[in-house]
Structures are given as C-alpha cells and as structure tokens.
Amino acid sequence: MNSQERIRRIAETKNEIIADINHTVWEYAESGYHEFKSAAKLKEVLRSEGFEIEDRAAGIETAFVASYGSGGPVIGILAEYDSLPGLSQKAGEAVHCPIEGQDYGHGCGHSALGAGAVGAALMVKEYLKEQGLSGTVKLFGCPAEETGFGKAFMAKGHCFDGLDLCFSWHPQDANTNFPRAIANYAVRFDFKGRSSHASSAPEQGRSALDACELMNVGVNYLREHVPTSTRLHYAYLDCGGEAPNVVQDHASLLYYVRGPRLSQCGEVLERVKKIAQGAALMTETEVNIRVLGGLNDYIPNPTASKLLADAFEALGGPEFGEEEYAIARKFLEAMPEEDRRKAIAAGAKINGISEEEFAMRPLNTAIEPYSDQVRQIVMPGSTDVGDVSHIAPTGQYMVAGICQGTGDHTWQFTAQIGTSIGDKSAQATARAIALACARAYEEPSLAEQAKKELLEETGGVYICPIPDGLKPGEGV
C-alpha cells in the first residue's frame, strides 16, 4: 500500500469529525479575537486525539498550537475560525434570511477552513503513528484573519519559528493554486481640533473634520505618484458628530496602504503621514498616527505549493453528490441573469463539460495542476498567511466549497459553506494536506529544498509589521 492509499483509508475514519467541526463552528459564528467557543471545539477534538495543546499562543486568548510527534521534519497546518459581521444566513437558503439574533456569519468559509485543517492534522497523526516515522505536526489555531492580523501577532510571538514546511487552504468556487497576495499596513489617523459655534463664532473653531477631508484629497493626489501596484483605501471611523452647527473637534480615519511588498507599503505610508501632518498644519489641528497592524505579502513556496497541488491531483477534489448539486443549483438559479450566464460559461470551461451539464451540476470538480505561474500571478488582496510564508515555506490551495460565481464575503457564501458542500470541501482538503505532509515526512529533502527557495526569496529576513506594545484587536 502506498502513502496515497494509506491516507485515503485513514481519511474515511475522520470525515465525520470534519463535518461536525464545520457545522459547530459555523453555528457559533464568532468575531475575530472572540472565537472562544470555536477555538475550544477545535482544541477539544485535538486533545481527545492525543495532541498536546499550547493554549493562548503568543498571549492571545483564542490562539493555540496543537502538536503531535517528535523530531523533524516539523510541519505546520493553519486553521482559522473567525466570521464576518452582517453575513448571518440560514444554511442552504438561497433567499436572504439571516438567523434571528445573529449578526455574524461564515461568509469567508473559515468554519470549513478550520475543520479541514484539523482533519488533516488528525490524519497526519495516524500516518506518523502507523509508519513509525520521525516528524512533528503542529496545528495552529489562528484567530482574527479577517481584520485582526492574527497570524502577524502570532509571528511576532515566534509561534511559527522552527517550521520546515507549512500548509493551508481556502474554500473558494474552484480548485486552484493560491497565487501571491499583497502586503498591507492598517493605520489610524486621529485629528483633534477646537470646537465652536460654527455660525456665530466660526473663527474660534479648528475643524478635525476639515483636516480629514484635506488629508483624503491630498492622498487622492498622491495616488498619481506611487507605484501603480499600490492600493490606498480609507474609511471614516469618526466623522466628528452629527451637528453641522458645531465645529468638529475630533475626527478619525482608518487607512489601508497595500502593495506587493511591505517595504513598498512602508515607503508610501511615510508619504501618507506627511499629508496627514500637512492637513493638520493647514487646519491648525493635531494628528495622532498609530499603526494598528499589518501583513506581509504571501509568497507561494514552489516546493510546498507543488506538493499540495500534486496531492489534490492524486486524490481528487471534493466528492460532490446529487445532494450538493441540488443545493448549488438553487444558488445558481438565484443569481442575476448576467452573473448566472458567466458562471455557467466559466464552470463549463473549467470542467471541460457542456454548459447544460454544468448548469445541472454547478460545483467545480476539476483540479488545477501546479504551475510556476503562481509565483507571477498577484491576487490584489491580503492574507495574514503572508507573514507565515516569510518564516516557513508555505503552500496553499483553493478548494471548491461554493457554487461557481458565488462572491467572497457574502451571505450566499455563508449559506453554502454551512451545508454538506462545505463538509465535502473540507474533507477533500484534509486528505490532500495529509498526503502532502506524508510525502514530506518520507522525503525530508523536500523540506530542505523548500527552505532553500524561501531563503533565496527573502534572504532570511522577516520584518514583522506589528509595532511593539500593540495588543491584538486594539484600536480597530
């Protein structure tokens, strides 16, 4: 029996646990850094399967590290379990009906993400035990991926040091390689002015709101003179109040400064800070600038990414049946005409079947093989897996867990990932990650090769974007 057959056999025994985690965490739908019940569920399963748990990793309440085995290679698997506000939705329902009394929902599928990651760790444990191999598997319970930079805080706490390889995944609408993602700094600008009656004593007022507006105008001019790959976005955290006849003496902005590398974001950020100071000077207000967090770009490690994609090719993707296709069809049919047409055309092309066939079974099963292209393609979004990928060679894969054409961060995503579509996605991923790990334990030179590639890419330097003294979740 080869490693592929062994993993397939072990996988059969863990499928129920994976589905149970997905459904339980989906129902909890907790916010970043408050995933107490979700983390407890994952830890309970891992503990009962013989994993040693390091609680409150990096001093974060809902972070943990679960380990099994001894010696090297040391392989990490990343689990997430936070959800998103405003995306509560009943499972399987293709018309908008939020769950009563619940605001949060798993519109990014992290319930399945965590379930698949834990499932993989359990399978790896069985494999190491059966084969009597040297090696350690570490399951990282990572909170607050969405807005809290959880893994960057864990990286600052040295959680990922000493890993030889690391794997993760993300539910999506297709089975594809995970390309590069961009770096990001999140920065808060608090302006302080002087209040006065806006009409009877305007000369006494110094408007913090004016300062924010001038800063935004300045940054919008700056856009023309930064590298084209830079992304600058802002939101008002505080607009100074609701009364037009009171000069606003306080107002705050949150900025995201994104780019292909953290160093580039840092350079642009210095210029954004100058504009903030300029706006303060113009309005005779004061500005307090605080970096609230950040992320490094995601580097897909060639060896790790190939190991994972090869494992999916060997074992196949999610094994959807008529039950899953029937659910997916409801969501396809509920799409606006134009979106539905595009989804069917794309799905038929991806799977090499007719549009009629795909419209009946609108879930992707085709597996995209590994291609070095992943190192060139840049996804214009960010993930805190980026920080892990600068410390350990990391491979990720996207796996179908929603109907083709379903958007990220939508209630439609929440609704589908909470059904057996999400379970099948997590189950297929768990066994593929487990097979990638099994192959790496059997051939330790793979990890050495991966580490060499990482060293070539980063020069062994990791710059953590989290400033000293900042607490997780502070100021956001």
Taking CA atoms, 34 is separated from 90, 114, 227, 312, 417, in Å, by: 22, 15, 37, 33, 21
Measured from the CB atom, the residue of 108 and 142 that comes closer to Zn ion is 108
Distance from C-alpha of 281 to C-alpha of 287, rounded to nearest angstrom: 9
User: Greatest CA separation found in the chain?
Assistant: 87
**Residue closest to Zn ion (Cβ):** 108
Backbone angles phi, psi at 378, to 5 degrees: -120, 125
Contact stretch for Zn ion (CB under 5 A) within 108-116, 128-136, 359-367, 431-439:
108-116
Measured from the CB atom, the residue of 76 and 240 that comes closer to Zn ion is 76
The alpha-carbon radius of gyration of the chain (Å, integer) is 24
Measured from the CB atom, the residue of 107 and 302 that comes closer to Zn ion is 107
Contact 329, 451 (CB under 8 A): no
Measured from the CB atom, the residue of 50 and 381 that comes closer to Zn ion is 381
Task: Give me the sign of the Cα torsion angle 210, 211, 216, 218.
Answer: positive
Minimum distance between the CB of residue 114 and Zn ion, rounded to whole angstroms?
11
Minimum distance between the CB of residue 330 and Zn ion, rounded to whole angstroms?
23
Residues in 131-160 that interact with Zn ion by CB under 5 A: none
Measured from the CB atom, the residue of 82 and 423 that comes closer to Zn ion is 82
Distance from C-alpha of 81 to C-alpha of 148, rounded to nearest angstrom: 12
Helix runs in 240-301, H state only: 262-283
- Select the residue interacting with Zn ion from 29, 75, 108, 450 (CB under 5 A): 108
Minimum distance between the CB of residue 170 and Zn ion, rounded to whole angstroms?
6
Task: Give per-residue burial for 380-399: e unless 16+ CB within 10 Å, then b.
Answer: eebbbbbbbbbbbbbbbbbb
Minimum distance between the CB of residue 145 and Zn ion, rounded to whole angstroms?
6
Q: How many residues contact Zn ion, by CB under 5 A?
A: 1
Contact stretch for Zn ion (CB under 5 A) within 104-112, 149-157, 194-202, 347-355:
104-112
Measured from the CB atom, the residue of 78 and 292 that comes closer to Zn ion is 78
Minimum distance between the CB of residue 270 and Zn ion, rounded to whole angstroms?
30
Instruction: Rule CB under 5 A: say whether 385 interacts with Zn ion.
Output: no
Minimum distance between the CB of residue 63 and Zn ion, rounded to whole angstroms?
17
Helix runs in 110-205, H state only: 110-131, 150-156
Minimum distance between the CB of residue 327 and Zn ion, rounded to whole angstroms?
21
Q: Which helix (H) or strand (E) holds 294?
A: strand 286-295
Distance from C-alpha of 404 to C-alpha of 400, rounded to nearest angstrom: 8
Contact stretch for Zn ion (CB under 5 A) within 70-78, 105-113, 263-271, 427-435:
105-113
Minimum distance between the CB of residue 153 and Zn ion, rounded to whole angstroms?
17
Q: Which residues bind Zn ion (CB under 5 A)?
A: 108
